[in-house]
């Protein structure tokens, strides 16, 4: 197995403690927008 496998399992277990929410409830200025889209912090063409 990969040396990272146990750490990946630990992180997955940790993430199961969070409830999913709809994107519309994430504020526009939240850093989470960098990961889910709609971030105001990227360069616009």
Phi, psi of 2 (to 5 degrees): -70, 150
Q: Where are the domains of the chain?
A: 19-45
Portion of the chain with pLDDT greater than 70, in percent:
91
Residue 2: the pLDDT is 87
pTM exceeds cut of 0.95? no
The conformation of residue 44, written as its DSSP 8-state character, comes to P
Would residue 19 be called left, alpha or beta, if left means φ above 0 and alpha means ψ between -120 and 50 degrees?
beta
Residue 22: the pLDDT is 94
The residue-averaged pLDDT of 16-40 equals 90
């Amino acid at each position: 197995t990969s040396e990272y496998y146990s750490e990946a399992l630990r992180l997955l277990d940790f993430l199961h403690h969070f409830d999913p929410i709809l994107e519309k409830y994430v504020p526009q200025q939240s850093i989470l927008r960098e990961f889910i889209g709609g971030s105001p912090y990227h360069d616009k063409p």
